[in-house]
Structure formats: structure tokens, C-alpha cells
Amino acid sequence: MADPFGFLKYERKDNPYRPVAERILDFEELQIPLSEEERQKQAARCMACGIPFCHSGAFYGGGRAVSGCPNDNLIPEWNDLVYKGDYKRAFERLTRTNPLPEMTGRVCPAPCEKGCTEGLNGSGVTIHDNERFIIDTAFENGWVEESGRPSQRTGFKIAIVGSGPAGLSAAWRLNKLGHSVTVYERSDRFGGLLMYGIPNMKLDKEIVQRRVDVMAKLGVNFVANTEIGRDITADELLAQYDRVILATGASVPRDLDVPGRNLTGIRFAVDFLTETTKSVLASGNKKLGRTLEGKHVLVIGGGDTGNDCIGTAVRLGAASVKQLEITPEPPEKRLPTNPWPEYPMIKRIGYGQEEANFVQDSVLTAYATSTTEFIGDGNQVVAVKTVKVGPGFKAIEGTEETIKADLVLLAMGFTGAETSLFDQFGVQSVYDDYSTNNNQVFIAGDARRGPSLVIWGIREGRKTAEQIDTSLRIALAQ
């Protein structure tokens, strides 16, 4: 490394968030990027460690949790190049493994930073923010379009169903390898989770559209408002294309089967967030009216989506916001059973929670709390009955409570993919190399492995593209 003592000279400095009082008035991006000089100092903190855990994805917790980058990004190399000011080479190194770093540089929880060796006794390197700097610099200089041009066309045609992280990643890689790619999306805009599942303040939709636009310019064909089985059949796709990738995500939300579930005012979080983003896109100035003024909002679920719902409800002027989490309150510090370099399972205050705490005095989150019934006035939900739970999520008698709620948002994650699409293509088996029992059909991302991080979708899209490329070239040679 250019400065092996940078981690001793410079303290960690993240891209700061805009002040709470300012940011809750609009849906503009949360972060304020550091200056170029400060970013180089942060890159200098990468300490040339002998065993860089950051770029090696080590699994634990039954194989679902990961420490370090699951995409095997060679992070120390591009940190060094940023420190030296060699931004183009940093971009080239970064995008060898990650074709969509503008997404991960904004929304990834950065398990790489938690596995950083400097984080054992320090605070870790700002890998996440460095990544955003590299790709934003690349777009400003036209390097992204330049890097994606195919050297020649192969004549092979691939259809991709779904335009989320896995679909876009696969499309980028396949197009660069010279194949003709068409992406089918049933929504009106492209990006999947990136467009409608993540609020604008976390990932500005202009960033998503910027990527789609450059891909279209490079030859990728995008078809919106098209659902397989309704607008075009699986057989038609199989007849028109050499290979088909199903990258539809894990789009089935987890429901809550308790009395009163059918009352008006109980909504899945993803539908609420999608509707809000569509309104933001239609607004022109990324500001919306106080459409929840006077409404008491209850968010059920404690993950990132729940936090996004809280931040959105605050921006829409909710009279109050409360959150229920069925798991116990996390510890303030790592437990001995959760050592470095594992991702630290500790209590965190998300941006939305910080905003709710700013605008209201009441306690926001109730931990170890389960919902037992929705109460209505006519067809409209007005309250929720809850109970505290102990080990095994068993109810604790005498802890029942009723919480006022005019809008309930179910943010409990997703159960998996819509398997009806698999049936249309005759898919019964999905293999580790992303192929299926139908040799024309491949599956990538959350549709294959279940709900996961954006970086997993990006990795699977890239790997699937390379697997398809290999299979096509073998077929051509025979």
C-alpha cells in the first residue's frame, strides 16, 4: 500500500447524513459525499493487512450470514488506487467483480467493513463510501459506457425476466460479452427492488435510471409493462431466445395471519414504499404533501424495510409512528458468541428511527412483541392488540396491550419467489451453477437463493451470465 500507516494518521470519517430537521422535509438523498481530499485519506486507512478478511466472504450462522464481501471484491487494491488518485484504474479493478457499484455504494450494509482487520480494534475502513466515490467519478468521466462496449457480437440472444440487481447485473455482463440481451419487466420502470423497494432518500431513482440508460445505449433492449404468461408466454420466449434467465427476486411478502387481517389500512410495506416512490417520481421536486397527517402508523418488522417505512411515514407527516419487533432487543456490544470478523449483531439506530425519535417523544420500538389481533371500526383498522413474548416466541400472560393504529405496514420480509413462473418454464430443479432441468433456463438472485442482499443479486447475475456464455460457446464449438 502507498501509506501503510494511514490508519494511524486518519480517523474514520463516513459520508455524513443531512441534518434530520432538513432531510425529513423531502425525499432527496440522505448522504453528503466527502471531498476528494478527504476520500483519499479514508482510502489511505486501508492498512495493507496480511489477511484481508474484507474481500473474502466467510460464511457462518448456518451458511446464510457472511463476513466480508460475498462478491469477492478485491477491496485493498482499489482502496490503494483511490489513495494514489488513480481513479480510472480503481474503477477498472472494482468493476471486474461488481458491475453495479453505484447501488451497493449506497444501500449495502457493508459486511466487508465489519470484517475489516482494522475493525478488530478500530472502526474499520469506509469501504462502502469509497466504492460510491469510485463509480460516481467513473460516470462523471464517461468510463462506464466505455467499459461496457462489446468488442463483437456473437449472434446469441438471451432473455432476462426481471430487472432487479440480478437481472441488471446479468444483462450488463452478457451484453459486454457480445450477446444480444432483452430484459422484460412487468412494472412500468426498470430496477426492480432498486427502483421501487428502496426509498428515494436511500437510493435516488436517477441513479438507477442512469444505469438503465447507459445499458440501453450499449445495446440492451428493455421491455416494460410485460408479464410472462399474460403478455408473452414462456414458450414464446424459449422459441425466440437461446437462453432465458429468471431473475424475478423473492417477491412474495410474509403475511400475518391473525384476526382482523382483512381490515382496510393494513398494507404490505413493499406496496406502501412503491406507491410513495411513484408519487416522488411524479412530483418533480422530491417533495410530497403530508398525506399521513393525523394518522397513527404502526410498522411491524424491525429490518431495513421497517426502517424505510418509518422514515417514509415521518416525511408524510404521520401523527405518530411505532414499531413492533418480535425478537428481543439486541445488545449494545458484541457478545462472545458473535466475535469479529462476523457481522456484529448489535443494536443500531437507523436513519428512519433517528428521524422518528426527532419528531416524537414516545418510545418508538417495542421489542419481543407479537401482534395477536387487528381491531376495526367498520372495515377500517383503528388499533392492534399485542403481547410480549419470551423464549420460543411464546406469549407472556399479563403483558397484553392495545396500540392505536390507522395504518399498519407489514415489513416482515419475504418468503421466496413466485414459483408459478418456474412452472411455466417447466423448472422443477435448480442447480448450484444457476442452471435448471430445462437446459435453456437459468435462475439467478433472490429467485434462486431466497431473500438476500443486493450484492448477492449482483454476484449471482454476473456468475449466471458467465455460465451462460460458457455453455453457448461450448455449444457453438460442437
Does position 341 have pLDDT exceeding 90, yes or no? no
Please give the angle made by the CA atoms of 59, 336 and 455, to the nearest 5 degrees.
Answer: 30
Instruction: Answer yes or no: do 311 and 378 share one domain.
Output: yes
Q: Is the pLDDT of residue 59 over 90?
A: no
CATH code for the domain in which residue 142 is found = 1.10.1060.10
Structural domain contains residue 19: yes
340 and 275 both lie in a single domain: yes
Band (pLDDT 50/70/90 cuts) for residue 38 is very high
One domain, residues 27 and 60: yes
Among 121, 146, 171, the domain boundary falls at 146
285 and 408: one domain?
yes
**Is 1 inside a domain boundary?**
no
Cα angle, residue 281 at apex, residues 275 and 285 outer, rounded to 5° = 125
Is 103 within a domain? Answer: yes
Specify if 169 maps to a domain: yes
- Cβ atoms within 10 Å of 321's Cβ, excluding its own: 29
| pLDDT at residue number 65 | 74
Inform me whether the pLDDT recorded for 153 exceeds 80.
Answer: yes
φ, ψ for residue 145 (rounded to 5)? -60, -45
346 and 375 belong to one structural domain: yes
Q: 16 preceded by cis ω (within 30°)?
A: no
Where are the extended beta strands (E) located within 325-413? 365-366, 369-377, 380-388, 401-404, 407-410
What are the b/e assignments for 80-113, b being 16+ CB within 10 Å?
bbbbbeebeebbbbbbebbbbbbbbbbbbebbbb
Same domain membership, residue 422 and residue 460? yes
> Are β-strands 157-161 and 65-67 bridged in parallel, bridged antiparallel, or unpaired?
unpaired
Q: Do residue 113 and residue 29 come from a single domain?
A: yes
Distance CA 379, CA 444 (A): 41
Residue after which a domain boundary falls, among 127, 146, 165? 146
DSSP 198-267: S-TTTS-HHHHHHHHHHHHHTT-EEE-S--BTTTB-HHHHHHH-SEEEE-----EE----STTTTSBTEE
Cα distance between residue 427 and residue 443, in whole Å:
10
Confidence (pLDDT) at 1: 62
Q: Are residues 313 and 330 in the same domain?
A: yes
The b/e string for 438-475 (b: 16+ C-beta within 10 A; e otherwise) is bebbbbbbbbbbebbbbbbbbbbbbbbbebbbebbeee
Point out the domain boundary residue: 355, 387, 412.
Answer: 412
User: Which of these ranges, 19-23, 71-75, 422-426, has the smallest mean pLDDT?
Assistant: 71-75
The type of residue at 424 is Q
Instruction: Please indicate, yes or no, whether residues 423 and 376 belong to a single structural domain of this protein.
Output: no
- Pick 373 or 61 by higher pLDDT: 373
- Angle at which helices 75-84 and 36-44 cross, to 10°: 130
Range of the domain at 311: 255-412
**What band does 143 get if pLDDT is binned at 50, 70 and 90?**
very high
Q: How many Cβ atoms from other residues are within 10 Å of residue 299's Cβ?
A: 30
Residue 55 in domain: yes
Torsional sign, CA 215, 223, 445, 152? negative
263 in the same domain as 360: yes
In the chain, the number of structural domains is 3
pLDDT at 93: 96
Does the pLDDT of residue 266 top 90, yes or no? yes
Mean pLDDT over 196-200 rounds to 97
Class of residue 395 by CB neighbours under 10 A (exposed 0-12, middle 13-18, buried 19+): middle
Note whether 280 and 377 are same-domain residues.
Answer: yes
Does position 49 have pLDDT exceeding 90, yes or no? no
Q: Can you tell me the distance from the alpha carbon of 248 to that of 34, in angstroms, rounded to the nearest whole number? A: 35
Q: Examine the domain organization and report whether 468 and 323 are in the same domain.
A: no
How many whole angstroms from its chain centre is CA 6?
31
440: domain CATH number is 3.50.50.60
Q: Taking 70 as the threshold, does the pLDDT of residue 64 lie above it?
A: no
Distance, in Å, from the CA atom of 327 to the CA atom of 337, rounded to the nearest integer, reads 17
| Contact assessment for residue 117 and residue 51, using Cβ atoms and an 8 Å cutoff | yes
Q: Are 464 and 444 in contact (CB under 8 A)?
A: yes
40, 44, 39, 41: which is closest to 15 by C-alpha?
39
